[in-house]
C-alpha cells in the first residue's frame, strides 16, 4: 500500500522539482518550434495532468480489489488476461506497478535532461520511451479499469504534443 501511495505522489513531486529549475535564461535563448505555448500554460496544464495521473493510478489499484464472495467467470477471465499481459504478482499488479514507476521515472528524468543538463537530444530519447510506456500503461490499465485508462488520455495527448515540441527543439537548435 505504501508503494501505491508513493507512486501516486511521484507525479506531484516531479512537478515540484521541475518548477524550481534555474534554466529560464537558457530556455529563452532557444529557437522555439511552431505552436510552442506561452510559458504560463505549462504550470496549470501539468498540475491538472499530474492530478489525473495520480487519480488514474489509485483508480487502477482500487478497481483490482476482489470481493470476498465468489468471482464470476468473466472476472476470472479478465484477471487471467491481465496476468498474461503483466505476468507477475496477483493479477499482474507488481508488473503494472513496475511499469508505472518506470514511466514516472522517465517523466521526472525528462525535466532534468531538458532543463537541468540542457540536453534536448537526450530528453527526446527519454520522451520517446515515455510515449511507449504511456501507451503500454493505457493498454494494461484498460484491462482492469476503463476509467483509469481514460484518465491518462489527456496526458497522452499532451505528451505527444510535448514530443513534437522536443523534436522541434532538437531540429531547430542543433548548433547551439
76-110 residue pLDDT tens: 555 555 544 544 445 567 889 999 999 999 999 99
For residue 71, the SS3 value is coil
Q: Pick 76 or 111 by higher pLDDT.
A: 111
Burial class for 163, CB neighbours closer than 10 Å (0-12, 13-18, 19+): middle
Burial class for 141, CB neighbours closer than 10 Å (0-12, 13-18, 19+): buried
- The pLDDT score that the predictor gives to residue 63 is 86
18-75 residue pLDDT tens: 554 568 899 999 999 999 999 999 999 999 999 999 999 999 989 876 544 433 444 4
Burial class for 55, CB neighbours closer than 10 Å (0-12, 13-18, 19+): middle
Give me the number of domains the chain comprises. Answer: 1
Widest CA span in the chain = 64
Q: What is the CATH number of the domain that holds 117?
A: 1.20.1260.100
**pTM for the whole thing?**
0.75
Q: How confident is the model at residue 146 (pLDDT cuts 50, 70, 90)?
A: very high
Which residue in 10, 42, 15 sits closest to 27, CA to CA? 42
Identify the domain containing residue 136 by its residue range. 2-172
Amino acid at each position: 500500500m505504501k508503494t501505491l501511495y508513493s507512486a501516486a505522489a511521484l507525479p506531484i513531486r516531479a512537478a515540484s522539482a521541475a518548477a524550481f529549475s534555474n534554466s529560464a535564461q537558457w530556455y529563452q535563448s532557444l529557437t522555439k518550434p511552431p505552436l510552442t505555448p506561452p510559458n504560463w500554460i505549462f504550470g496549470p496544464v501539468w498540475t491538472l495532468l499530474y492530478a489525473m495521473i495520480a487519480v488514474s493510478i489509485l483508480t487502477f489499484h482500487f478497481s483490482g480489489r476482489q470481493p470476498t464472495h465468489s468471482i464470476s467467470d468473466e472476472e476470472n477471465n479478465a484477471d487471467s488476461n491481465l496476468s498474461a499481459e503483466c505476468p507477475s504478482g496477483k493479477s499482474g499488479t507488481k508488473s503494472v506497478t513496475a511499469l508505472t514507476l518506470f514511466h514516472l521515472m522517465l517523466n521526472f528524468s525528462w525535466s532534468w535532461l531538458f532543463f537541468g543538463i540542457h540536453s534536448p537530444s537526450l530528453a527526446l530519447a527519454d520522451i520517446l520511451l515515455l510515449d511507449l510506456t504511456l501507451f503500454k500503461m493505457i493498454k494494461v490499465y484498460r484491462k482492469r479499469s476503463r476509467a483509469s485508462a481514460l484518465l491518462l488520455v489527456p496526458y497522452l495527448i499532451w505528451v505527444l504534443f510535448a514530443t513534437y515540441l522536443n523534436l522541434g527543439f532538437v531540429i531547430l537548435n542543433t548548433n547551439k
